[in-house]
Structure 1
C-alpha cells in the first residue's frame, strides 16, 4: 500500500513538473516574440521623381517598436503619388518621401516649396571633374574682368551651399561615379536665381564642391591680382631708359688768326722804317 502511494505521488509530481515547464516556456515565448504591425514597403526599387504604381508597393509585417515616423498603413491613395527620394525594395514608404498629392512626376516634384530650378552650362573643369552629382552641395564662384584698363579682375564666391538637383537629364542620387556633363541644374531661391543669372552674364562661373554637412559660410572679400600676387601686381611697370648715345668730345678752339697786314719799307736818307697798312 505504501509503495502504491509513493508511486502515485511520484507520477503526480512528474505531471506537475511537466506542466510547469510547458507553462514557463509558453510565457517566455510570448515575452520574446515582438509585436508587429503592417506597413507599406516598396515591392521594387523606385527612383525619385517616379509615380507609384500599384505593383510597386505592398504591405509587410514590421516590428512595432521600430516603425519609422510617417509610415503608411494603407495601400489606398498611394497609386499615382510621386516620390521625392528613391526607395529600395523592402524599404518603408513614409510621408517624408512622398511629394504632395497631385504633384506631377519629374524634376518639378523635387523642387522645395518656395524655391526654383536653374540650369548652368559647365564643362569638365567647371563641373568639378564630374563630381558635382545630384544631392551634393556646391558654391558658385564667378570670375569677372574689370570694366576699364585700371580695374583689376576679381574672383568671388557669390552663392553658397546650393543643392544640385540634376546633372544633364539625370536626377538619381544613389550614384557616386563622376559624370562629365555639359549642364547642371541647381535649386535656388528667386533672389539667388537673379544673382546667378547676372553673374554668368558678367563673367565665367565655376562650381566649388563642399562638404555635405558643413553649414558654415565662407566670409571672403574676393581675390584680385593684387591679393594673389602681392605688391608686384599693383606696382607700375617701369620701362627701361633708352641707352644714351655717346657724344663726341668738342674739339679745342683754335686761336683766331690776326688779319694779314701789308707792310712797305720807307728809306729817308740814311734812315729806314716800315709802315704797315
Structure 2
C-alpha cells in the first residue's frame, strides 16, 4: 500500500515538472515572437563632413519602444545627410550627429551656427608636439610687446575646439603624435579677430586641455620682470586685506556744561589834551 502511494506521488511530481517545462518554453516563445523594430547603424567609420550613402548603413533588430532617441529605420531618410560628429562602425546613426538637412558635404557643414573656421600656422612647439587631433580643445597664448615695449605673455582665448589638423578632419585611431603645419579652429567672429591680430603682432602658442574641463582660468599675464621675480605671482594674486572687525561703540557720559565765566567789564581810557598839557583818565 505504501509503495503504491509512493508511485502516485512520483508520477505527480513528474507531471508537475513537465508542465513547468512546457509553460516556460511557451513563455520564452512568446517573448521571442514579441514586437521588434529596426535601427540603422553604420557599416564603417563615418568621417566628419562626409555624405551618407545606402552602402554605409545596415538595419539591426531592436526591441520596440526602446530605440535610441533620434535614430532612423528608413535608409531614404539618411541618404545624402552629412556627418557632423564622428560615427563608428556598428554605432546607431542619430540625428544630433548629423548636419541640418540640405547641407552639402565638406568641413564647412560641421561648423556650428554662428561660428567660423580659422586656420592657424603651427610648428612642433606651437602644435603641442603633434598631439593635437580633431575634436581636441586648446587655449591660445600670445606673446607680444605692449605699448611700453615690454614683453608680456597672456592667455587670450580658452576652450577652442580643433576642427581639423592639416587637411584631416578625423581623429586618428592611434594616439601617435603627428607634427603638422596648420590647425583649423572653430571660433566665434570676435574670437577670430583676436587670433588674427595676435598672430600678426606677436607669437601665438596653443595649449592642449582636457576635453571635459569647462572651467575658465583667468590670468593677469606675465612680463619679463615677473619671470625673474619669484614673488610676482603672489603679488598679483594676493587677496585684498581682510576688513578689520568693527569695535563695539562705547557710550560716554555727556560732558557737564562749564560754569559761565564772570563777565568783566572792559576798562576805558580817555586822553584829554589842553593846550600843551595832556592828561589821561580811566573809567
Q: Identify whether the pair has TM-score above 0.5, normalized to the shorter chain.
A: yes
Partner-residue secondary structure (3-state), 1:117: strand
Question: Which whole-Å deviations, capped at 9, do the CAs of 1:109-133 have from their partners, x for residues lacking one?
Answer: 1111110000011000010001121
- Number of the residue aligned with 1:111: 111
Structure 1 unaligned segments of length 5 or more: list them.
Answer: 1-6, 234-277
**1:55 shift after superposition:** 1.1
- Alpha carbons 1:133, 1:178 under 8 Å: kept: no
Q: CA RMSD in A?
A: 3.0
Structure 2 length-normalised TM: 0.71
Superposed, 1:104-183 pairs within 5 Å as 104-147=104-147, 150-175=148-173, 176-183=175-182
Q: Does 1:213 align with 2:243?
A: no
- Alpha carbons 2:142, 2:156 under 8 Å: kept: yes
Q: Which moved more, 1:120-129 or 1:81-90?
A: 81-90
**1:87 shift after superposition:** 2.0
Structure 2 unaligned segments of length 5 or more: list them.
Answer: 1-6, 233-283
**1:26 shift after superposition:** 1.5
Partner-residue secondary structure (3-state), 2:75: coil
- For 1:146 and 1:140, locate their aligned partners in 2 and report how far apart those are by CA, in whole Å: 18
- Alpha carbons 1:52, 1:79 under 8 Å: kept: yes
After TM superposition, which residue ranges in structure 1, 4 or more long, deviate above 4 angstroms? 10-17, 31-35
Q: Does 1:78 align with 2:81?
A: no
- For 2:13 and 2:141, locate their aligned partners in 1 and report how far apart those are by CA, in whole Å: 86
Question: Which whole-Å deviations, capped at 9, do the CAs of 1:238-264 have from their partners, x for residues lacking one?
Answer: xxxxxxxxxxxxxxxxxxxxxxxxxxx
- For 2:138 and 2:154, locate their aligned partners in 1 and report how far apart those are by CA, in whole Å: 14
- Number of the residue aligned with 2:187: 188
- For 2:194 and 2:120, locate their aligned partners in 1 and report how far apart those are by CA, in whole Å: 13
Partner-residue secondary structure (3-state), 2:76: coil
Partner-residue secondary structure (3-state), 1:100: coil
- Alpha carbons 2:133, 2:172 under 8 Å: kept: no
- Number of the residue aligned with 2:91: 91
- For 1:101 and 1:27, locate their aligned partners in 2 and report how far apart those are by CA, in whole Å: 44
Partner-residue secondary structure (3-state), 1:25: helix
Question: Which whole-Å deviations, capped at 9, do the CAs of 1:165-214 have from their partners, x for residues lacking one?
Answer: 00110000244222111110000001101111111111010001111111
**Number of equivalent positions:** 225
- For 2:12 and 2:125, locate their aligned partners in 1 and report how far apart those are by CA, in whole Å: 88
- For 1:94 and 1:108, locate their aligned partners in 2 and report how far apart those are by CA, in whole Å: 20
- Alpha carbons 2:142, 2:205 under 8 Å: kept: yes
Question: Which whole-Å deviations, capped at 9, do the CAs of 1:15-73 have from their partners, x for residues lacking one?
Answer: 68644531233124545887532111112232221111111112210244652221112
Larger radius of gyration: 1
